[in-house]
Amino acid sequence: MKIYPIENLIAFRKQLSKSSKKRFEIRTHKSIPFGSAIIIDYDSTFGKIQIETKPYKQPLKKSFAF
């Protein structure tokens, strides 16, 4: 059986404490995105947003994040 990255995230979330689970959301969609936003502590004063992109079917060298 092939394990997909989303399954790894779900397994990781299951291991977290109850309070940490409230802060860890996984959201997906069926389209192939050009980029992803990783939002850390979005509801806090010091929250952060990390933007990552990797064009579809392109090598990793063509990706970037900020």
pLDDT at 52 over 80: no
Say how far apart CA 20 and CA 22 lie, in whole Å: 5
Length of the chain measured in residues: 66
| Percent of the residues in the chain that have a pLDDT greater than 70, as a whole number | 74
pLDDT at 19 over 70: yes
**Global pTM?**
0.51
Which pLDDT score, from 0 to 100, does residue 18 have?
92
Which pLDDT score, from 0 to 100, does residue 33 have?
64
For 14, other C-beta atoms within 10 Å of its C-beta total 8
Which pLDDT score, from 0 to 100, does residue 65 have?
65
Say how far apart CA 64 and CA 66 lie, in whole Å: 7
Which pLDDT score, from 0 to 100, does residue 50 have?
77
Report whether 10 contacts 28 (CB < 8 A).
Answer: no
